Structure 1
Amino acid sequence: MKIFITGASGFVGGAATRHLVGVGHEVYAMSRSASSDAVIRALGGEPVRCDLQSVSAEHLQGCAVVIHAAAFVAAWGEVDAWERANVDGTRQMLEAARAAGVQRFIHIGTEAALVRGQDLQQVDESYPLAFDSPYPYCWTKARAEQAVREANDPAGGFVTLVLRPRFIWGPGDATLLPIILQMARAGRWTWIDKGRALTSTTYIGNLVQAIELALTAGKPGEAYFILDEGERSLRQIITAMAAAAGVSLGDKSIPGWLAAAIGASSEWLWRTFALKGEPPLTRHAAMVMTRECTLIGDKARAELGYVPPFSVEQGLQQLRDSLAG
């Protein structure tokens, strides 16, 4: 099958490219630079020079499936940056895909599209999208998912669906784990509410298996949580990830109310005085570390045939092996 992937130089898109090439698919991937070209070729894909603003039907000719994994996920920035990439970019991809005769559009969404700052406790896919979220990443991902699901048109030969992983981790993560390790090695790692919040997680090897299943399975226009088996506290999973790199995180912790206050005041300072770089803590980061996020994955099992091929323990062993190598 000929597949077009966005975000292939990133964590999820790169893992999907490697996996799908490995099982025999012909993968083309959006690339914006020579360095991205090299990354994509190393994964076995073929780079296509375009971006989320310029992509057109011409770039997708002959592709049966689009996997849209690109997104703006920065901890800090201008609201326009999130909206331009996550909302406008997704709409541009949908338009190009339909015009090119693509038959299936798989959007890599997120549970964050449901988040307004509340706990999510044993939530399934019927939970409403958070268009009114105070966090730009969350509401832009909600609007992106809405656009994808509204574009679903099986009668017209265009099927869309959404995969929603939560807390993606594993080999190849160049963002979350490196930040944790850097903070720990500098003596700056601090838990919030002792890391007690429960969370669902998604090992990268499980996510790429779900992406492969979604090439042919799933009900048109639907969304699916893609999860590891069980749930654990943020402290358990983050401690285990750091331990895979031989790093101990310690016990230092601050209460959630203090983290929220630091996040709000830091954002005010950075915006008011146009400070460079990122604040030490944002409201969104403080919220993520204090709120429960446990999800129900039964729908993916029933409709995609998804059963996680890797346990958390197997994923941690693969993470250890990748960091040792």
Structure 2
Amino acid sequence: MPVMIVESEEKLLVTGGTGLVGSSVIQRARTAGITTVALVRSASKASYLKEVGAEVIEADLTDKKSLDDILRGVTIVVHTAAKVGDWGSIDEYRKTNVVGFGHLLSALQEQSLIKHLIHISSLGVYEARDHYGTDETEPPHASGIDAYTLSKIESEELLKQQSIPFTILRPGFIYGPRDRTVLPRILERLKSGQFAYLGSPEQLMNNTYVEHLVDAVFLAFSNEDAIGQTYNITDVTLASKREFISTIARLAEYKEPNKVVPLPVARNLARILERLWRFLGKKQAPILSQARIKFLGLNLDFSTQKAQSELNYHPNKTFQEAMKETIDWFHQNQKIP
């Protein structure tokens, strides 16, 4: 388990502190004895961060004035805060993921103490097509993607325009204890018996256990050569969509799904539903969208060779072990629907 080496006078700031990634980074940092500030939108939901010894500060990245005092003494940053999802206007996502991030970067530059910033981006920045070993030499693809992913591309470009020392990590589908977004929705679909594979169930996922992503964060901090670099991050050993979903179903004690919707049918239905949902002004995503097809309908095999060779990134848990830990946590905390 990588441990970040920091001087006693240094301070770590983690944005998005109550999120899956942010809270996991904070726990690892506090275990290592690192002075840590958790930036959260609601302090009332962050009691467990206080329990591990983090300083919890309530602030909104979209309010630049609220950042001035918070950043005093901060020398290292992990930026995980983001508006996530697969539905909504680009302006909604830009407000936090680009404009809010810009406020943070400006404030950090003004106090001139920042030594390294780790920015959590996404493998979704690549073109929405089948991938077979795509590496970091392929540029992001800004056309034909959802608003969340486009805002991630824009946030990467914004960061590269600054003078702050940075490393960009691009994880795939992040899963693990305390997931509040995608995994709970998958569990709901499995419980209702309405889950269906989009295209071949044998295509690969870009599964990324949160603990492995945190490993990559600390490995990057410990390596000066990682400054200015971008890395794809997955579990390295990928699961097929069938293995991924069937494992969740089995561990949650639900029936394993077998329904398959042919990809051309799914694409046409997604286009119809998206047009209808936009016409009706619905705030929630339709049951099927192009973003969900990108997640569940394509082969998502991305190369992590660069992280393995340059960061010494070698995940130590199999997918089966990692998912069992995840679903065990959901059981223990009564999060299984």
Instruction: Tell me the TM-score normalized by structure 2.
Output: 0.89
What is the Cα deviation at residue 290 of structure 1? 1.4
Does structure 1 retain, via aligned residues, the 8 Å contact 2:63–2:100? no
Where relative contact order (Cα < 8 A, 6+ residues apart) is larger, the structure is 2
Q: Give the AA of the match of 1:19.
A: R
Deviates more, 1:130-139 or 1:105-114: 130-139
Aligned pairs (5 A) from 1:124-273: 124-151=135-162, 153=163, 158-217=164-223, 218-273=225-280
Which runs of at least 4 in structure 1 moved beyond 4 Å after TM superposition? none
Counterpart Cα distance in 2 of 1:290 and 1:317: 24
Q: Give the AA of the match of 1:97.
A: L
Q: Give the AA of the match of 1:193.
A: G
What is the Cα deviation at residue 232 of structure 1? 2.6
Number of aligned residues: 319
Q: Give the AA of the match of 2:215.
A: Q
Q: Does 1:48 align with 2:54?
A: no
Q: Does 1:291 align with 2:305?
A: no
1:6-30 CA distances to partner (integer Å, 9 max, x unpaired)? 1111111111111111121111011
What is the Cα deviation at residue 106 of structure 1? 0.6
1:142-179 CA distances to partner (integer Å, 9 max, x unpaired)? 1111222332x4xxxx3111011111112222222211
Q: Does 1:11 align with 2:20?
A: yes
Instruction: Tell me the TM-score normalized by structure 1.
Output: 0.92
The sequence identity of aligned pairs, in percent, is: 28
Aligned pairs (5 A) from 1:72-83: 72-83=83-94
Counterpart Cα distance in 1 of 2:122 and 2:53: 26
What is the Cα deviation at residue 131 of structure 1? 2.5
Q: Give the AA of the match of 1:61.
A: R
Which runs of 5 or more residues in structure 1 are unaligned?
A: none
Structure 1 residues 276, 296: CA separation in 2 closer, same or farther (over 3 Å shift)?
closer
Which runs of 5 or more residues in structure 2 are unaligned?
A: 1-9, 333-337
Does structure 1 retain, via aligned residues, the 8 Å contact 2:87–2:147? no
Residue in structure 2 matching 1:112, options 101, 120, 124: 124
Q: CA RMSD in A?
A: 1.8
Q: Give the AA of the match of 1:223.
A: T
Counterpart Cα distance in 2 of 1:283 and 1:131: 14
What is the Cα deviation at residue 284 of structure 1? 1.1
What is the Cα deviation at residue 68 of structure 1? 0.4
What is the Cα deviation at residue 124 of structure 1? 0.8
Counterpart Cα distance in 1 of 2:116 and 2:196: 43
1:248-277 CA distances to partner (integer Å, 9 max, x unpaired)? 232012111111122111111111122353
Counterpart Cα distance in 1 of 2:107 and 2:135: 31
Counterpart Cα distance in 1 of 2:168 and 2:206: 18
Counterpart Cα distance in 2 of 1:108 and 1:81: 19
